[in-house]
Amino acid sequence: MQRFILSKKHHIALVSALLIIIGFTSELGFHQERIAEWSLAIASVLGVAPIAIQAYQALRVKVVSIDVLVTIAVIGAFLLRNFEESSIVTFLFLFGAFLEQRTLHKTRSAIKELTEMAPESAWKQMAGGEFEEVGLDAVDVGDILLVKTGAKVPVDGIVLAGEGHVNEASITGEAAAVAKEQDSRVFAGTIVENGTLRIVAERVGEDTTFGRIIELVEEAQDSKSEAERFIDRFSRYYTPAVLVLAAIVWLVSRDVELAITILVLGCPGALVIGVPVSHVAGIGNGARHGVLLKGSEVIHDFSKVDTIVFDKTGTLTIGNPKVADIEFYVQQQQSALEYLASVEKESDHPLAKAIVEHLGEVRTYPVGTTEVVKGGGIIAEVDGHTIAVGNLALMEHAHVQVPERAKEAMARFAGRGDSLVLTAVDGELCVLMGIRDQIRPNVKEDLGRLKKMGVKHLVVLSGDNQGTVDLVARELGLTEAHGHMLPQDKSAYIKKLQAERRIVAFVGDGVNDSPSLALAEIGIAMGSGTDVAIETSDIVLMNSDFSRLPHALGLAKATANNMKQNIAIAIGVVLVLLFSVFFSEWMNMSVGMLVHEASILVVILNGMRLLRYGRRKS
């Protein structure tokens, strides 16, 4: 019976409203006081039923809830035959709960949108080679799936065949379609806008990046910050205190109506709901913008950060070295490049890959005997010639003369932060290349935004040489730069900053920087859903877009401020109501409940403003 009544709360509120209208119409319009009295009395009994059940359930677990205060107040008003106030109070309380539920539902819309993006079926290749539509629970790792135009990618996987463009907004927050071809990685929940892809499943179900994003955001929205835990503790003592205050007022004044009015006015509803709604809306906004904030405590700590430490490679820079400078010292430039490409295609070194990518489609030759010189490079036989590719130490080892103008160019390239690669053919220097990682586009502007938000210290730590790190720091306007840093050195440096009482956030790629991500107050991973990034960090920028970092910090500050605003509104309203009951003649139960419910809506609507944060900027 209790469950049935609680399930019909909204219907009871509607019936109560009709009975109240009948009651006041009968009394004011037709002077039928008997009908009015019965209508309002029935409305009071109907309205208090679900409230009383909730109060009873709370008392069973030794909690004096808001429902207990309202139930006692309504029963008191009913016994005093003040049916107008008892009926209006119950209706306003139920109607407020209805509006509260509806508006809170909107703050969780980001999660609803995410879950609606989840695919429900897949076209799976069967034993005979044909494709058949099956439920997702029938898809296993290693299965081959077909995804057509307009369909959702059902799993995380690798493209085996086909080409197309995929909308990855559910993962990255960016609606721009991304080109996919053979060997490209695709994620569950993304949508193929055009083309047809045949993929092999790597992760299925809850193990996919999309599944884990939903899980983590839901966990974050259900988590509680220290502020929320404090308010829970406060309410546990505050609500009984209101009961005691009402009892004291009754004992002193012998005015029962005044005592039960205090019960209604002292309800801390807006205080209880104000912080959670800000929390939920802030995390929902982050989910929409490709920023995964793991809980309310993360928001609180991040909003106070005064120092952000960056790993260089893959964070401030793209993490993909490119040929930036090149000089030739022979006439036969094309043949020298062909020999260079032949040697570098045999290597997996990042610099070799950068050179091969830069040279593109050039003629290559079979590579004969090779000699790898540790810390220098490689010497190989190509098309009857001896080719040496490496640094200055290798040239000295191979007795290659380096002309003066080449030495000047090397100094110039090194001054720009280049890694140097020299190529000699048959003992003659032919090519000098400067290779460096490229700074991410618009990073300098994004760092400027962080400074404007109150971040005082921007620090870069890198395993690269100090000269290169200094160049990056000067170009980006960072406050500190430290090179030759191993992972344990980075962790030690973060401990040093924390010892100086700085609140530190560390931004890394989520793979090599796991110790630092875990050690800092806030670990921020640049990564498209990598395992280590999601598990180790507190915040994940799902599309590795650096511009999301200022958005995340601004959102954290806005959310923290919004929580404070809601607390101030809630406490202010309660104080004004309690003051008014003693020092004004217009305050009564009905007006108090109306103001009380209005304050709940105000804090909810204030929290919902966070859903629109950054809309113009992103």
The string of DSSP codes covering 273-331 is HHHHHHHHHHHHHHHHTTEEE--HHHHHHHTT--EEEEEIIIIIB-S--EEEEEEE-SS
Average pLDDT over every residue of 530-552: 77
Q: ∠ at Cα 462 (459, 464), nearest 5°?
A: 140
CA distance 111 to 126: 34
| pLDDT given for residue 529 in this prediction | 44
Structure tokens at 27: 């009394």
Residue with tokens 């009892």: 247
Cβ neighbour number for residue 75 with a 10 Å cutoff? 15
Structure tokens at 211: 């599944």
Residue 406 in this model has a pLDDT that exceeds 90 = yes
Whether this model's pTM surpasses 0.85 = no
CA distance 528 to 208: 12
Report for 193-202, 481-490, 543-552: range of highest mean pLDDT: 193-202
| pLDDT given for residue 216 in this prediction | 60
Average pLDDT over every residue of 9-38: 89
Cβ 191 vs Cβ 166: under 8 Å: yes
Residue 125 in this model has a pLDDT that exceeds 90 = yes
Of 340, 287, 218, 342, nearest in space to 551 by CA: 287
Dihedral (Cα; 158, 161, 162, 166), 10-degree rounding: 0
| pLDDT given for residue 505 in this prediction | 95
Residue 324 in this model has a pLDDT that exceeds 60 = yes
Domains and CATH numbers, the chain: 120-153+155-203 (2.70.150.10), 322-436 (3.40.1110.10)
Task: Using pLDDT thresholds of 50, 70 and 90, give the confidence band for residue 584.
Answer: confident
Higher-pLDDT residue of 364, 530? 364
Q: How far is CA 71 from the centre of its chain?
A: 41
Is 311 tagged catalytic?
yes
| Alpha-carbon distances of 25 from 76, 85, 277, 375, rounded to whole Å | 25, 16, 38, 95
Q: What is the DSSP letter of 418?
A: P
| pLDDT given for residue 506 in this prediction | 94
Higher-pLDDT residue of 194, 173? 194
Q: For residue range 43-84, list pLDDT tens digits in order.
A: 999 999 998 998 899 888 877 777 888 888 888 888 888 888
Rama region for 162: left / alpha / beta (φ>0; ψ in -120 to 50; rest): left
| pLDDT given for residue 68 in this prediction | 84
CA distance 473 to 467: 10
Residue 41 in this model has a pLDDT that exceeds 80 = yes
CA distance 329 to 267: 84
Average pLDDT over every residue of 522-530: 72
Please, where are the H alpha helices in 386-530?
A: 392-397, 404-415, 443-452, 466-476, 487-499, 514-519
Residue 553 in this model has a pLDDT that exceeds 70 = yes
Cβ 209 vs Cβ 230: under 8 Å: no
Q: For residue range 141-154, list pLDDT tens digits in order.
A: 999 999 998 888 99
User: Looking at 143, 156, 301, 311, which residue is catalytic?
Assistant: 311
| pLDDT given for residue 8 in this prediction | 86
